[in-house]
Amino acid sequence: MDKPEKLDSNMWLDNYGDMMYRYTLVRVRDPDEAEEIVQVSLLAALQAKDSFQGRSSEKSWLFGILKHKIMDHFRAAKKHVSLDLSSDDPGDPYEKAYDHTGHRHSPSSSWNLDPESAAQNQQLVLALSTCLDKLPDKYRKVFIMREVEGLSSNEICNEFNIQPTNLWVILHRARNHLKKCLETQWLGK
């Protein structure tokens, strides 16, 4: 049996600092908030150091704490701004692409990308990050929780008091805004 891994808190910042910051920044957008979340997570890890039982690697353990702190951040933000759909939220960017019968005026262009291998294109992944920064805050948060964090629709609805049908509309619009951004700015469509 493998020896349980030991923690080396003196090396956390050197070994995982940038990785934790990047992981957080992808999710919360604001550099100051991201730095604060990394700090709070590392301090929480220091306090919980003695309870580490070596069942997971040091890195997984630290990222587990970080994930909790990021969710705490989202929960705290919902107290100030509701994430449910409102009439003020931006609509579907492709709304005008349909005629009165609901059919498209012109066909959308093909991306010529393979879904299996597209994520190996690091430039495209980073392009998505830039497009995410341009999304309205509500759409961004909901998309992050669903597609980046992998929470289920039920979890998001229960945690953030969103009606399921509204959640699906928010996600549909968020995806369309991202799709349009990728097409116009990165895929040259």
Partner 1 sequence: MNKITKWLKLTCEDTLLLISEKMDHSLPLSKRWRAGLHLAMCTVCREYQKQLWILSSLARCLGKAEGPTDPSFKLSLEARERLKQSLK
Q: Which residues bind partner 1 (CB under 8 A)?
A: 9, 12-13, 17-19, 21-23, 25-27, 31, 35, 38-39, 42-43, 46, 59, 63, 94, 98, 101-104, 107-108, 110-111, 113, 115-116, 118-119, 122, 124-126, 128-129, 132, 143-144, 146-150, 153, 164, 167-169, 171-172, 175, 178-179, 182
Do the beta carbons of residue 33 and residue 70 sit within 8 Å?
A: no
Closer residue to partner 1 in complex, CB, 3/37: 37
Nearest approach, Cβ of residue 1 and partner 1 (Å)? 26
How far apart are CB 144 and partner 1 at their closest, in Å?
Answer: 8
DSSP-derived secondary structure for 139-185: HHHHHIIIIIS---HHHHHHHHT--HHHHHHHHHHHHHHHHHHHHHH
Q: Give the shortest CB-183-to-partner 1 separation in angstroms.
A: 9
* Half-sphere exposure at residue 98, Cβ-oriented, CA atoms within 13 angstroms: 8
* Closest approach of partner 1 to the CB of residue 34, in Å: 9
Grouping H, G, I as helix, E, B as strand and the rest as coil, residue 82 is coil
Q: Which is nearer to partner 1, 51 or 107 (CB)?
A: 107
Give the nearer residue to partner 1 in terms of CB position, either 1 or 123: 123
Encoded tokens for 56: 């997971």
Closer by beta carbon to partner 1, 79 or else 131: 131
Q: At its nearest, how many Å lie between partner 1 and the CB of residue 135?
A: 12
d(CA 45, CA 182): 38
Is 56 buried (19+), middle (13-18) or exposed (0-12) by CB count in 10 A?
Answer: middle
The residue (of 39 and 82) whose beta carbon lies closer to partner 1 is 39
d(Cα 99, Cα 116) in Å, to the nearest integer? 33
The answer to whether the Cα torsion of 159, 160, 163, 168 is positive or negative is negative
